Structure 1
Amino acid sequence: MGNSALDINPPNATYHLTTGGSDWLWAAFSIFGAALLGVVGWTFTRPRGTRLFHQVAIVVLTTGSLAYFSMASDLGATPVTVEFRGTGTRQIWYVRYINWFISFPLLLLELLLATGLSLSDIFTTLFMGIVLVVTGLVASLVPSTYKWGYYVFGVFALIYIWYILLWHGPHTTFAAGGVVRSGYRLASSYLSCLLLLYPIAWACSEGGNVISVTSEMIWYGILDVLAGPVFLLFFLWELRGVDYNAFGLQSGKYTDKSAFVGNTATTGPATTGPVTTTGAAGNV
């Protein structure tokens, strides 16, 4: 499959993806696809109103599957002149950054919704996640040494994210109790360690042209699989026995038919007042 993909979509740069790299990307696509199907099936075993974390995972895994299908097909890249270690152009995979632009803030949201952080803190952290991805994309597309200025901006955004994940988040009040707190500490430490490796991979690939495009794909692919399917399945498994009501994530809308019928039977359709909720439901 990888051979036909490279024949149909030939590389467009001096430093480009090889057949071996395409084969690895197909394998990563299969992992994302299998995890996606598993989470979709798992979601239908959950009662309505308790599927938020699973549905966020579905969005992340769907986006990752599409990105890896594109990269395995040698699509979604543009040639950019290299700064170091040779002359010519290198394939820069903008489709990977589109994937990260969607999935990375959602991974942070998945984690931070389990904490007692305010919505303002969560919003700022998600924004910093977007800054990290966008600066990485812009830096990879800049052929001059100015790319490293964007790289520094991204590193500062990452430091802020580490602060929230490793310090501020664990010191908040967890509505769902100590079990979620301990699970959050493990999950946030795991994700933070992975985030340390992404800037190093960028400096060796898009930034410094030290490693080949195929090596870049293997490095990023392992990180994405660990931060995507592996992390999400672990996180959802840790939440399987937690009382979902403790998170206060109800929408306040009647989605269950029996509840709606019961409400109209007692109050009447013309006299039903506004529904109020407690906890963080109205904010979410």
Structure 2
Amino acid sequence: MSNDALDSNPPNADYHLSNHGSDWLWAVFALFGLSLLAVIGWTFATRRGTRLFHQIAIVVLLTGAISYFSMASDLGATPVPVEFRGNGTRQIWFVRYIQWFITLPLLLLGLLLAIGLPLSDILTTLFMAIVLVVTGLVGALVPSTYKWGYYVFGLVALFYIWYVLLWHGHRTTFAAGDRTTFAAGDRTTFAPGDRARSGHRLSAYYLSFLLMLYPIAWACSEGGNVISVTSEMIWYGILDLLAGPVFLFWFLFKLRGVDHSTFGSQSGKYTDSNMAPGATTTAQRAGAGPASTANGVGAGPANGATTSPVMGAGSGTYPPSAAHGAQDALAV
């Protein structure tokens, strides 16, 4: 079956997508779609209450699939006059920036939640990700030299993201536990804290490197009109595949076996945690005793309070209803 997307949706600019470029975009769409189905299956095979990162991956992959379906169909672009290398207009794909507006903050959110970064730092980093995407879109739509001012604003936001990923994040206590090892015969078994720590570092380096390539692609395509629209699609498509399906599968694989309750994303509902009301915990069965006695005196916090970590951003003492409410908000 031939690709008639450009016949059904004719290009609207002088520098536009070619048939071969549309074929490539359909291939990327197929990879996003297959990855989405695989992650959905993986999610259902994962115990309830530990699906937070899988569901983030589902949103990222679904958004990418919709975006690439639109671009492969030659939809979601607007003509903008070029500044360099010729006259006429070039297709600027605003649908791609809508994709990044959703997916980049979510990718960073998953990575930063896994290391237990304070909530204030997470929100600031997500805001910088939004600034990076929005300034890229506005700069691409500006036909004059002023587009490069937005480019600089985007780079400033990117430098902050690099600072968090490559320096500040490494100085944070990991939510998945401290670095411990256990000797098991001739092998050394690493605790979940090791897996989360090494996984974060590699993920941070990997994602930071990819984020460096996006501004270069922008300068050569939307900014400087150096490469064709089809070459732009190939470049961005490879980057999106590496930052989407490849990164997410590797990231989820590295988090397998990690105790998700340390992230504060464990559901407080007994139906999700398989804990009926009044059931004893492992520590209680081991002889630690309940948190409180019939006389209200015991090892637990006073006045029926309970301690619960929330979002890996530290722990505090909350009333039971507040603790369960905070956990249920993150329960998946």
TM-score by length of 1: 0.92
Return the letter of the residue paired with 1:278. Answer: S
Q: Which stretches in structure 1 are left out of the alignment for 5+ residues?
A: 264-272
Report the Cα distance in structure 2 between the residues aligned to 1:207 and 1:87, rounded to whole angstroms. Answer: 14
1:109 equivalent to 2:109? Answer: yes
**What is the aligned-residue identity percentage?**
73
Q: 1:206 to 1:230 in 2, by over 3 A?
A: same
Return the letter of the residue paired with 1:233. Answer: F
Report the Cα distance in structure 1 between the residues aligned to 2:108 and 2:226, rounded to whole angstroms. Answer: 30
Report the Cα distance in structure 1 between the residues aligned to 2:37 and 2:211, rounded to whole angstroms. Answer: 26
2:227 alignment counterpart? 211
Mapping for residues 1-284 of structure 1, pairs under 5 Å: 3-176=3-176, 177-256=193-272, 259=275, 262=277, 278-281=308-311, 282=326
Q: CA deviation at 1:178?
A: 2.3
Report the Cα distance in structure 2 between the residues aligned to 1:201 and 1:191, rounded to whole angstroms. Answer: 16
Q: CA deviation at 1:189?
A: 0.3
**What is the RMSD computed on CA atoms of the aligned residues?**
1.9
Give the SS at the match of 2:174: coil
Return the letter of the residue paired with 2:89. Answer: T
Larger radius of gyration: 2
Give the SS at the match of 1:169: helix
Return the letter of the residue paired with 2:201. Answer: R
Q: 1:2 to 1:120 in 2, by over 3 A?
A: farther
Report the Cα distance in structure 2 between the residues aligned to 1:245 and 1:82, rounded to whole angstroms. Answer: 52
Q: Which has the higher helix share?
A: 1
Report the Cα distance in structure 1 between the residues aligned to 2:241 and 2:304, rounded to whole angstroms. Answer: 44
Report the Cα distance in structure 2 between the residues aligned to 1:274 and 1:213, rounded to whole angstroms. Answer: 63
Q: Are 1:138 and 1:147, in contact at CA under 8 Å, matched by a contact in 2?
A: yes
1:267 alignment counterpart? none
Give the SS at the match of 2:3: helix
Q: CA deviation at 1:101?
A: 0.2
Q: 1:258 to 1:241 in 2, by over 3 A?
A: closer
Report the Cα distance in structure 2 between the residues aligned to 1:28 and 1:230, rounded to whole angstroms. Answer: 12
1:268 alignment counterpart? none
Return the letter of the residue paired with 1:207. Answer: G
Q: 1:274 to 1:98 in 2, by over 3 A?
A: farther
Report the Cα distance in structure 1 between the residues aligned to 2:220 and 2:159, rounded to whole angstroms. Answer: 20
Report the Cα distance in structure 1 between the residues aligned to 2:195 and 2:205, rounded to whole angstroms. Answer: 16
How far does the alpha carbon of each residue in 1:74-96 deviate from its partner, in whole angstroms, 9 at most, with x for none? 00000000000000000000000
Q: CA deviation at 1:258?
A: 6.1
Report the Cα distance in structure 1 between the residues aligned to 2:57 and 2:2, rounded to whole angstroms. Answer: 28
Q: CA deviation at 1:111?
A: 0.4
Report the Cα distance in structure 2 between the residues aligned to 1:103 and 1:23, rounded to whole angstroms. Answer: 23
Q: Are 2:9 and 2:75, in contact at CA under 8 Å, matched by a contact in 1?
A: yes
